[in-house]
Chains A and B, each alone.
Chain A
Amino acid sequence: MKLHRINVYSNILLVVLAFLVIYPLFMLLYGSFNGGPPYAAEGFTFRGYTDTYSKWDTYRALYTTVWLGVVRTILALALAIFLAWVVTRTDTPGRRWLEVSVWIQFFMPLQPIIMAWVLLGSPQIGAINQVWNRMFPDYGPIVNVFSYGGIIWVSVIQWAAIIFILIAPAFRAMDAGLEESSRISGASSFTTIIRITLPVLAPSLVGAGVLAFVKIMEGFEAELFLGYSKGIRVVSTQIYNLVYVDPPRYTQGMALTVVFLLVVFAMIVLQRILLKGRQYVTVTGRGFASRPIRLGRWKYLTLALMLVYFAVGVVIPLVALVVGSFMRLFGVTLENPWTTKQWAAVLSDPKFLSSLWNSLYIGLGAATAGMLLYSFTSYIITKSRFDGARLLNLVAWLPWGVPAMVLALAMLWAYVGGLPLPFSLYQSIYLIMIAMLVKGLPLGVQVMNSTMVQVGNDLEESSRVLGGSWFYTFRRILAPLITPAFVAAWIILFVLSLKDLATVILLAGNQSRPLAMLMFEYWVIAAQEEKAMVLGLIQTVVILAFAIAARVIGARRELPTSGLSG
């Protein structure tokens, strides 16, 4: 593609992203300085900031948020690296099935998982403590899920799966020759991991770590269910309280959200410092091999550890979901606890099918349109010489700093209440799609960035030298190489779109209600957890089916690895 044409497209892209990202963020900032309700210009005020930042509670919540975020990110990243290494770089038996189990963990809705851990780890009723008390009646409970430890435990299991999914393609694409050279030179497996594998994969690991760190700090379900009653306060639960609990304090809520944006800026700077001057390219024209490392007897240890993860991350929550869906009252000891009426009620609910259809429409639309946009954005950022590439990267990062519930408010204020459009997006499925597209922008672009920078320019240049057009080169060289990451990111965005509640709860209406919102209505409003679990199971199965389909379609587009090494 000629340089000036690339520049034109890049400028158009920058304007589109500015409209999608900066405009809602402007509304958010406006909200933090507006003294009155959202749609009334009540005058400029610093009250939101002075109210929020003059309270000791705010700083206590900030401190808790940061240390909980750091601890959880480090642990989740370490676990994810271990999982990815075992699955992609070793000969551990059954590793493909173990990979499937990680994906299933990611597919499951979070609230039932939290409930499952309450039933296991509650000091009063938890099964673990019941068994412990029978064995050692003189001691108190051995575990307490309503604690910092409980929040860390639940979040690490959840986020390890997400980080695994983000970094596994990079692990898989890495040239095994690098590791083999290390071992031939006399280095042990451990030294090879520390000195070769991890540094080579640093961009992907740092990118995933930074993405996870910000989102872990914004998460609020585990914090609300497991920590709030014990006095644990984090910024996300404070924002939830200010924005969603009567009476609302929008100005203060928006002022507190600005903290996350600052954290994102800091993370971008940190990422640049950490990766400065590093060579990322691992896929070049000279070919590569991806033979697994032979672990010998150690492979049984890695298998055992993976099975522990499988039990903790998948079996326990899945069993809780299935069991809960057949109970009259979830977790309550009754004389006759079992029933199929929850399934009958959900399947006969007229809202069920329409919600399922809406979910699929939103998920497929947002993931597909999003990935095309993110891939192009990433291409411009990493492969073009566009002057505004850095600015583009920054804009693509910004939505990550906005908690989903606040992003939804900003979208509503921006695209429904703020801008006079010739058509109404209010309560439409398209507004939800746009919100999902904006929400997924940082993740989609960063996944594609970390893959694009691994692909050396020599491959494209060879094609161009031999007379291949830009499109031909893209289709035959770049597209097959980035397809695994594209498919993985598509699945992630599809799943996140289907699981999302914080965004849709404000933007959806009766005609655009997705499955997650129906689940919320059953779970939170009606307190019928059993019916919500039925929906959670159905959602998990639907996601699994689509993910398998995506992998099958994606696999047809991939070039076999051996084809590059000849």
Chain B
Amino acid sequence: MMDKVLYFALAAILALTACGIRSAPPMTPAPAAPQTISTPSSSIPSAMSLGDSTWMKVVEAAKKEARVTVYGSAFVGDIGRRMTQDFKRQYNIELEILSGGGNLLLEKISTERKIGQPIADILQSSTGSVVRLIKMGLAESYAAGLPAIRDKSSFLLDPVFSPGAESVSYTSEFVGPVMNTKLVRPDDEPHSYVDLLDPKWKGKIISVDPTSTGGAIPFFFTPRYHKAVDLDYYTRLAKQDLRVWGAASREAVNMVARGEYPIFLIMNDSYVAFLIAEGAPVRFAVLKEGTTAGTQIIAIPKNASHPNAARLFINWLLSPEGQIAYNEPQRSKPFRKDVPDFTVLAGRVSPIKLLPRTWEAEEWTADDMEAGTMQKIFGKK
């Protein structure tokens, strides 16, 4: 008797599951988009631009939606609180922020799509998961019509678009090595990628996993794309016995600030400036071959519940008001020229040469990652 009941129940569960699996919408990548570097003025068709009256309709619709939910990792703590307050004050729209790693948030968006219950209106990441969302064909095209970026001369760096205008960048950070000034004497400071190969740093450099998408790109992929360094450089770097940090990058920088390690390879200058403002003995290292531009990008998943509020929020984030709300709490450098620089003097960085994060560079990185080049050198995952 017992066996029959159990078997029946299990069979029913498995049958229902099979139905659920079969009815799943495809999550395969969309057909490849044309591979061009895009900028607001060059690649977005003018027919896609929104006029003022159309934009006003977006604003009105956004106010009716009254809510927007952002999935990402950048708007946490004091930053998120300030943005929530300022956005609400300006538009009377609730800003909800759910923080987490890119992969985790993308998993949530996939689930929401599967069950037809979209909650995320916006996905933010340092390229990795937003690029995956776009490549899966699950991102809305929205960026072309944003009034805040019509005049690209307002920005310190060109906003980076995906070819279909499914994402836009909103930061002007630089990413590179950070060092503890008590452990690295001025004479020993690295000024070049090659300086990091000095035997004195063997076993003393901490890094994110060179094979992970999010954190590793600015140091292990972008410089190679721009030919600032070649593959042989990384082969030699692997012999430096890098200490691979498995948890969040900022934790590793905090370890450098405490004096646990002298150098961490990949951190944005904004967070370094924040630590300097608090009095921590750290400094950002400017390398002569080039410093990678840190690119935080933002996308709207297809079928979002509050698509107009999402557009309005992103436009606001790129406006002077949004840039102040985002940068002032973390004392970082805004994306716009017409907004004060909140970094302390010692934390400001002037790269000798900038290695931009273009869409082409991201596509190249994704292909290279698929080919497992770094895995072959560093042997992880």
By a CB distance below 8 angstroms, the chain A residues around B246 are 224, 228-229, 237, 240-241
Closest Cβ of chain B to A384, distance in Å, is: 12
Closest Cβ of chain B to A526, distance in Å, is: 4
Which chain B residue shows the least CB distance to A521?
A: B99
* A15 to B4 CA separation, bound complex (whole angstroms): 11
* A509 to B96 CA separation, bound complex (whole angstroms): 10
The B-contacting residues of A in range 230-255, CB under 8 angstroms, are 230-231, 237, 240-249
Q: Is the CB of A245 within 8 A of B22?
A: no
The B-contacting residues of A in range 315-349, CB under 8 angstroms, are 328-332, 334-336, 345, 349
Q: Is the CB of B102 within 8 A of A419?
A: no
Q: Is the CB of A388 within 8 A of B110?
A: no
Of the 9-residue stretches B274-282, B290-298, B309-317, which lies at the interface with chain A?
B274-282
Q: Tell yes or no: A142 within 8 A of B by CB.
A: no
Q: Tell yes or no: A510 within 8 A of B by CB.
A: yes
Of the 9-residue stretches A16-24, A269-277, A289-297, A489-497, which lies at the interface with chain B?
A16-24
Which chain A residue shows the least CB distance to B101?
A: A244
Closest Cβ of chain A to B305, distance in Å, is: 13
Closest Cβ of chain A to B337, distance in Å, is: 27
**Which residue of the partner chain, among B10, B24, B73, B76, contacts A18 with CB atoms under 8 Å?**
B10
Q: Is the CB of B17 within 8 A of A525?
A: no
Contacts A14-B2, A417-B111, A417-B114 known; A124 to B104 CB distance under 8 Å? no
Question: Nearest 3 CB-CB pairs, A to B?
Answer: A527-B250, A228-B246, A246-B213
Q: Tell yes or no: B153 within 8 A of A by CB.
A: no
By a CB distance below 8 angstroms, the chain A residues around B107 are 38, 248, 409, 412, 506
**Which residue of the partner chain, among B108, B110, B259, contacts A39 with CB atoms under 8 Å?**
B110
Contacts A11-B1, A11-B5 known; A245 to B209 CB distance under 8 Å? yes
Closest Cβ of chain A to B141, distance in Å, is: 23
* A345 to B329 CA separation, bound complex (whole angstroms): 12
Q: Is the CB of A416 within 8 A of B21?
A: no
Q: Can you offer 24 A-B residue contacts whose CB atoms are under 8 A?
A: A11-B5, A11-B6, A22-B10, A27-B17, A41-B24, A229-B246, A231-B244, A243-B103, A246-B128, A246-B212, A329-B254, A350-B81, A388-B2, A388-B3, A417-B114, A420-B16, A426-B117, A427-B119, A506-B107, A509-B108, A510-B96, A513-B98, A521-B76, A526-B77
* A386 to B3 CA separation, bound complex (whole angstroms): 12
Q: Tell yes or no: A177 within 8 A of B by CB.
A: no
Closest Cβ of chain B to A358, distance in Å, is: 14
Q: Is the CB of A349 within 8 A of B26?
A: no
By a CB distance below 8 angstroms, the chain B residues around A237 are 246
Which chain B residue shows the least CB distance to A337?
A: B279
Contacts A419-B17, A510-B96 known; A15 to B253 CB distance under 8 Å? no
Q: Is the CB of A426 within 8 A of B248?
A: no
Beyond A30-B21, A36-B27, 17 additional contacts (C-beta under 8 Å) are: A11-B6, A18-B13, A22-B13, A30-B17, A122-B260, A224-B246, A228-B244, A228-B247, A243-B103, A244-B104, A245-B209, A331-B258, A334-B278, A335-B279, A417-B24, A419-B16, A510-B97
Q: Is the CB of B103 within 8 A of A510?
A: no
The A-contacting residues of B in range 328-381, CB under 8 angstroms, are 369, 379-381
Q: Tell yes or no: B243 within 8 A of A by CB.
A: yes
Which chain A residue shows the least CB distance to B102?
A: A246
Q: Is the CB of A125 within 8 A of B258?
A: yes
Interface size on B, residues (CB 8 A): 79
Which chain B residue shows the least CB distance to A529?
A: B254
By a CB distance below 8 angstroms, the chain B residues around A521 are 76-77, 99-100
Q: Tell yes or no: B28 within 8 A of A by CB.
A: yes
Q: Tell yes or no: B156 within 8 A of A by CB.
A: no
Q: Tell yes or no: A552 within 8 A of B by CB.
A: no
Interface size range of chain A in the complex: 35 or more
Q: Tell yes or no: B9 within 8 A of A by CB.
A: yes
Q: Tell yes or no: B112 within 8 A of A by CB.
A: yes
Which chain B residue shows the least CB distance to A248?
A: B103
Q: Which residues of B contact A (CB under 8 A)?
A: 1-3, 5-6, 9-10, 13-14, 16-17, 19-28, 69, 73, 76-79, 81, 96-104, 107-108, 110-112, 114-115, 117, 119, 128-129, 132, 206, 209, 212-214, 243-248, 250-251, 253-254, 257-261, 271, 275, 278-281, 369, 379-381
Interface string of A143-154 (1 = CB under 8 A from B): 000000000000
Q: Is the CB of A420 within 8 A of B19?
A: yes
Closest Cβ of chain B to A438, distance in Å, is: 14
* A33 to B106 CA separation, bound complex (whole angstroms): 21
Q: Is the CB of A329 within 8 A of B257?
A: yes
Of B10, B99, B251, most A-chain CB atoms within 10 Å: B99
The B-contacting residues of A in range 481-531, CB under 8 angstroms, are 505-506, 509-510, 513, 521-522, 524-529, 531
Q: Is the CB of B250 within 8 A of A506?
A: no
Q: Is the CB of B259 within 8 A of A26?
A: no
Q: Tell yes or no: A454 within 8 A of B by CB.
A: no
Q: Is the CB of B247 within 8 A of A11?
A: no
Contacts A37-B27, A124-B259 known; A506 to B77 CB distance under 8 Å? no
* A243 to B25 CA separation, bound complex (whole angstroms): 22
Of A36, A247, A426, A505, most B-chain CB atoms within 10 Å: A247
By a CB distance below 8 angstroms, the chain B residues around A526 are 76-77, 79, 99, 250
By a CB distance below 8 angstroms, the chain A residues around B251 are 524, 527
Q: Is the CB of A417 within 8 A of B115?
A: yes
**Which residue of the partner chain, among A15, A228, A419, A420, contacts B6 with CB atoms under 8 Å?**
A15
Which chain B residue shows the least CB distance to A27?
A: B17
Closest Cβ of chain A to B180, distance in Å, is: 10
Q: Tell yes or no: A376 within 8 A of B by CB.
A: no
* A4 to B222 CA separation, bound complex (whole angstroms): 70
Q: Is the CB of A525 within 8 A of B76?
A: yes
Contacts A14-B6, A241-B246 known; A336 to B279 CB distance under 8 Å? yes
* A409 to B24 CA separation, bound complex (whole angstroms): 17
Of B2, B73, B101, B281, most A-chain CB atoms within 10 Å: B2
Q: Is the CB of B22 within 8 A of A388?
A: no
Q: Is the CB of A224 within 8 A of B247?
A: yes
* A332 to B98 CA separation, bound complex (whole angstroms): 29
By a CB distance below 8 angstroms, the chain B residues around A359 are none
* A254 to B287 CA separation, bound complex (whole angstroms): 41
Closest Cβ of chain B to A256, distance in Å, is: 12
Closest Cβ of chain A to B53, distance in Å, is: 34
* A331 to B251 CA separation, bound complex (whole angstroms): 12
Q: Is the CB of B278 within 8 A of A329?
A: yes
* A524 to B380 CA separation, bound complex (whole angstroms): 22
Q: Is the CB of B24 within 8 A of A39?
A: yes
By a CB distance below 8 angstroms, the chain B residues around A545 are none
Q: Tell yes or no: A225 within 8 A of B by CB.
A: yes
**Which residue of the partner chain, among A10, A37, A248, A424, contacts B2 with CB atoms under 8 Å?**
A10
* A387 to B17 CA separation, bound complex (whole angstroms): 28
Q: Is the CB of A528 within 8 A of B24?
A: no
Closest Cβ of chain A to B130, distance in Å, is: 11
By a CB distance below 8 angstroms, the chain A residues around B254 are 329-332, 527, 529
